[in-house]
A and B are shown apart, each in its own frame.
Chain A
Amino acid sequence: AQSVTQPDIHITVSEGASLELRCNYSYGATPYLFWYVQSPGQGLQLLLKYFSGDTLVQGIKGFEAEFKRSQSSFNLRKPSVHWSDAAEYFCAVGAPTGYALNFGKGTSLLVTP
């Protein structure tokens, strides 16, 4: 079965600084990979997804993620963080033959002025 680890529980960055959120997965083949964002009091919104092909994936709100098979990683990046990016971020992994996505425990992002 596939699993995912988000090593950072909390991250604090200054507004305008760059951001990288880490995600490592465990799966024997090429997984389906997702990043979701949850703003306070809201549901989960898809930021981006990877199924195959180009390993650098562009998403909404200026986010991107890179699939690195050799490192079993799918890290989320943004070059310049805005205060509105403060939220909980979840990495999720699925499989072509799977029945449901497995989620990491999330990374809480705080943006300081």
Chain B
Amino acid sequence: DADVTQTPRNRITKTGKRIMLECSQTKGHDRMYWYRQDPGLGLRLIYYSFDVKDINKGEISDGYSVSRQAQAKFSLSLESAIPNQTALYFCATAVSNTGELFFGEGSRLTVL
């Protein structure tokens, strides 16, 4: 089993729908992240969390929210999806002292 698991792996939805992407990890890391990948733009940070009570915005948090339900679970929500949120989303965990990231397989979201 993967150390960082994302569900769903693929999702097609319509504009205005609420979407949740879920992430769970078995690495025991406190730090968890959500990144968004778009062609030609690399990975951009949406939100990050250092523990259950610590949630922080990244560079592109508008239109997104997150929930850290437990040390091992970190979910990303799109309250009202729009087409420019069509992208590949990655959850990652990190080693605290170096920031080395461990990625999930990604969730491909298409908003029509």
Residues of A within 8 A of B (CB): 9, 32, 34, 36, 42-46, 49, 51, 90, 92, 94-95, 98-101, 103-106
Q: Identify 19 new A-B residue pairs, CB closer than 8 A, beyond the known A94-B100, A105-B41, A106-B40.
A: A32-B100, A36-B101, A43-B104, A43-B106, A44-B90, A46-B100, A46-B101, A49-B98, A49-B100, A51-B98, A90-B42, A99-B48, A99-B56, A100-B99, A101-B99, A101-B101, A103-B42, A105-B40, A106-B42
Q: Is the interface of B mostly helix, strand, loop or mixed?
A: strand
Pull 5 A–B residue pairs with CB atoms less than 8 Å apart, ordered by A.
A90-B43, A99-B50, A99-B56, A101-B101, A105-B40
Q: Is B87 an interface residue (CB 8 A)?
A: no
CA distance A103 to B45 in the complex (A): 9
CA distance A39 to B69 in the complex (A): 31
Q: Give the 6 A-B CB pairs with smallest separation, nearest first.
A: A94-B99, A105-B42, A103-B43, A43-B103, A44-B103, A43-B105
Q: Which of B68-87 contact A (CB under 8 A)?
A: none
Closest to B104 in A: A43
A83 to chain B, nearest CB (A): 22
- Interface residues on chain B, number (Cβ under 8 Å): 23
Q: Which of B55-71 contact A (CB under 8 A)?
A: 56, 58
Most chain A beta-carbon contacts within 10 A, residue among B43, B48, B94: B43
B96 to chain A, nearest CB (A): 10
CA distance A42 to B40 in the complex (A): 17
Residue contact B42 to A34, C-beta cutoff 8 Å = no
Residue contact A104 to B42, C-beta cutoff 8 Å = yes
A66 to chain B, nearest CB (A): 19
Most chain B beta-carbon contacts within 10 A, residue among A34, A36, A99: A99
CA distance A16 to B56 in the complex (A): 45
Residue contact A98 to B43, C-beta cutoff 8 Å = no
Set A42, A46, A98: member contacting B105, Cβ < 8 A: A42
